[in-house]
Amino acid sequence: MQVITIVQTKGGSGKTTTAMLLASAALNLGRRVTLIDGDVNAQLGRWRDSFELAAWEGAQKPEWPESLAILSPPESVEGLLSLLEAEEARGVDLVVIDTRPGTHTDTEDFCLISDLVLIPARPVYAEWEMTHRAVLWMDDLRASIAEGERFPAVRVLVMDAGPKIIDAATREGGMRANAKAPGGRLVADAITRQLEVAELVLTGIDEVIPA
């Protein structure tokens, strides 16, 4: 089972979007996925509610995938480890942990039990400084543990999910309903391409931490 934690020092950096895209790509490949929503805005936790309550505007509503679970994080590291053991026992292939912005101790705990830490970064100059801070944070965390102790792989994921794409993915109806709306076809096609790219990213992740 692969465990991935997504971190950034600033909100609005694409952490939750990355988690959704990776989960969608993994589900598309037939994998069982669990998302753990450790962010303060709990957007992942509201994903199914948004799906169920959406106005699909004539588009055929798909079934919510049975192989996707969205959970809240336990209050202790021991609880988190027990949760991961239970998820692995029930055949989950991928666990993605979304975290709150900033450099917090609980986020460090998530990182230390993971196989991979992903730091999303958009190709915009203003965001490189915060990405650099996140990388230095992971370097400091690595230096704080005993020599020879296991530490996750750390990768920066350069992504560019623009506001229109994020809005179309999360507002009522999702991608398919937006495809029916006037002018929505280009946005829907862009989301499809994002999913294709997410599958390529997942292939890269499999090379770092084999599924």
pLDDT in tens, 29-73: 999 999 999 988 888 888 888 888 877 766 677 889 999 999 999
Q: Are 193 and 201 in contact (CB under 8 A)?
A: no
66-97 pLDDT, tens digit each = 999 999 999 899 999 999 999 999 999 999 99
Do the domain assignments include residue 77? yes
Do the domain assignments include residue 174? no
Do the domain assignments include residue 12? yes
Q: Which of 15-24, 54-63, 88-97, 199-208 has the lowest mean pLDDT?
A: 54-63
Q: Are 23 and 32 in contact (CB under 8 A)?
A: no
- Would you state the pLDDT for residue 177? 46
- Would you state the pLDDT for residue 43? 86
Do the domain assignments include residue 205? no
User: Quick one: tokens of 162?
Assistant: 């623009």
Query: Rounded distance, CA 30 to CA 62, Å?
Result: 16
- CATH code of the domain containing 151: 3.40.50.300
Do the domain assignments include residue 169? no
Collapsing DSSP states into helix, strand and coil, what is residue 67? Answer: coil
Q: What is the DSSP letter of 122?
A: -
Query: Rounded distance, CA 87 to CA 200, Å?
Result: 25
If phi over 0 gives left and psi between -120 and 50 gives alpha, with beta otherwise, what is residue 7? beta
State the total domains in the chain.
1
How much is the pTM?
0.83
Which segment, 6-15, 94-103, 170-179, is predicted with the most confidence on average?
94-103
- Would you state the pLDDT for residue 67? 96
Do the domain assignments include residue 8? yes
Do the domain assignments include residue 105? yes
When the pLDDT of each residue in the chain is averaged and rounded to a whole number, the result is 83
154-188 pLDDT, tens digit each = 999 887 655 555 555 445 444 444 445 444 444 45
Q: Are 177 and 139 in contact (CB under 8 A)?
A: no
Provide the residue range defining the domain that includes 101: 2-162
Do the domain assignments include residue 168? no
